[in-house]
Structure 1
Amino acid sequence: MLNQIADGAAVVEGSKDHLIVFFSSRGAYRKGVFDSTDFSKDMPNLRLYLRDEGQDLFYLNGIPGLTDNTEENAEFLKYFIERYQAERVTFVGMSLGAFGALTLGHMVGVDDIHLVSSVNYLNVNIGKNPENGALWEGVFDNVNTLCEERGFDKKLLDSRTFIDENPGKVKLVRAHVVATEPVDMNHADHIRGYSHVQTHVHPRGRHGTLAALMLRSGQLMHDLTAPLEVLMESEAAA
């Protein structure tokens, strides 16, 4: 049973062998839901569902009703993980939620992170191709304004900051992206060079539909339930 512990967080009790944390995308808060609850309803795992407030702040302003900034996000997640002592910890996020999964996963230290149509930086000038930096007009305006108003370091807008400052804390990142989406490919390229990052390019779909395609094909369920060693070997064999 889904137990909502804050406006932006809910828990489903389950097997503590494997904790899975789902980071919702931009539409979840506006709809009053959490991403992936239907998809994961039959999973036996302990599960934590998170959502950002509906203003495209990419979890930098905290988890509604629970935390107030990135550092507090990390502290809460560390507490939650330590409380349950899970043998494996997996973070998964789609679009906006993928930025939270990627950055906080490296801050906290988890086994594996799964990204679908990931947003990997929050200012178009950070990426190699500013022309293909923003998914939709003005998407980064609010989070950049937030950093200015709250005095946050602008390095928080770049996922590479979190990866570089926390080497060796994550065993595997699997990033899924659509080949025909230039913006998504640009964001995928931003983290492609790290040794623990796998980039899986899909021939069809769009930014907003890749997750649904992966759900229907069983790919996402496979990624979240397969042994970590199998996922790591699959890239080595590719």
Structure 2
Amino acid sequence: MAYIGASRRSAAHTAESDHQFNCQEESMERSRLERFIEPPFVIERGESPDLLVIGFAGFGGWLSMHPFHFFALSSLVKYSRIMLRDPSKTCYLDGIPGVAEGYRALLELLRDAIDHLAPGKVMALGTSGGGTAALLFGHALKVDYVHAFSPFTYADDANLNRYQDREMLARHRRVVARLHALPAEVQVLLDVQKALAHHNGKTRYFVHYCEGRNFDVIRAKHIEKCPGVSLLAYPCDVHQVAESLARKRLLDVVLKLENQERLPQLVAEKRSRRAGPQQARKKKPNP
């Protein structure tokens, strides 16, 4: 990086200054992002009492996109919402530092917030690690609907080794280590299949994922046989499936309140309609 008068400084001093500037620049960038996603727990009463949306952000602090864009693109803006962020990167199983210390405390905080807002229906949603939280907290709270976008459905040693999940074992090894350090009563939730094995009598779980992304497919199928779970696969190959759905104008379709009870059929119909013209183009003979 060039500075006026840099030639009169020592190379070591220049390198040190450059390093300090870069660190300051990175810190400033983090601050800008944090202004969008702070604080880590926000409750907003909407104009419509029909629905409360509980949004669990992923490890990056986003719902695959800026939360405002997510809600605007999904027509959820008019509803009450609770937005959560996971600074400890434990899929919210260690609570939210400074807000709710531990899983049980966060669960009770959410339960109190739901009672206070008194919505007609409750929907929990999340992306990536937030999708894991949406499944687990949604189950415990007996919400009406859960939408988990590319969730992690296991972090226990048995399943990590069973599936040879290189992504979890390498890229997210620090997350796995933090999860394994949690109290024993919480570690039982690291296998979402076991957590959802007994239906709570109410919740419908929708798991969205790209059929071209191998480990997301494996994680989705890991809970395929759990009661109340519907897998919704899409023709894409990215982890950010919510962003992919938004680009295809499908995010609004899958999250619209009136579509929830027939969502698997609706998604299948839309896929079939999209596939028809594509197959016709492929079969069309060259002139």
TM-score relative to the length of structure 1? 0.83
Q: Could you say what secondary structure the match of 1:99 adopts?
A: helix
Which amino acid letter does the alignment assign opposite residue 51 of structure 1?
A: R
- Bigger Rg, structure 1 or 2: 2
CA shift, 1:230, in A, is: 3.2
1:178 aligned to 2:210? yes
Number of equivalenced pairs: 228
Correspondence for 1:60: 93
CA shift, 1:71, in A, is: 1.3
The separation in 2 between residues aligned to 1:66 and 1:9, in whole angstroms, is 7
Q: What percentage of aligned pairs have identical amino acids?
A: 24
1:188 aligned to 2:220? yes
Q: Could you say what secondary structure the match of 1:91 adopts?
A: strand
1:97 aligned to 2:117? no
Q: Is the 8 A contact 1:52 1:59 kept in 2?
A: yes
**For 2:45, which of 2, 13, 34 is the aligned residue?**
13
| Per-residue CA distance 1:5-43 (angstroms, 9 max, x = gap) | x831112321221001111011118xxx99522221462
Q: Is the 8 A contact 2:179 2:187 kept in 1?
A: no
1:111 aligned to 2:149? no
CA shift, 1:233, in A, is: 5.6
CA shift, 1:101, in A, is: 0.3
Q: State the superposition RMSD in angstroms.
A: 2.9
Pair 149,202 (structure 1): closer, same or farther in 2 beyond 3 Å? closer
The separation in 1 between residues aligned to 2:44 and 2:186, in whole angstroms, is 34
TM-score relative to the length of structure 2? 0.70
**For 2:55, which of 22, 34, 53 is the aligned residue?**
22
5+ residue gaps, structure 1, are none
Which amino acid letter does the alignment assign opposite residue 70 of structure 1?
A: Y
CA shift, 1:64, in A, is: 3.2
The separation in 1 between residues aligned to 2:182 and 2:226, in whole angstroms, is 32
Correspondence for 2:11: none
Q: Could you say what secondary structure the match of 2:95 adopts?
A: coil
Q: Could you say what secondary structure the match of 1:137 adopts?
A: helix
The separation in 1 between residues aligned to 2:250 and 2:117, in whole angstroms, is 27
Q: Could you say what secondary structure the match of 1:89 adopts?
A: strand
Q: Is the 8 A contact 2:55 2:84 kept in 1?
A: yes
Q: Could you say what secondary structure the match of 2:193 adopts?
A: helix
5+ residue gaps, structure 2, are 1-35, 273-287
Q: Is the 8 A contact 1:133 1:187 kept in 2?
A: no
Alignment of 1:155-166 (within 5 A): 155-165=188-198
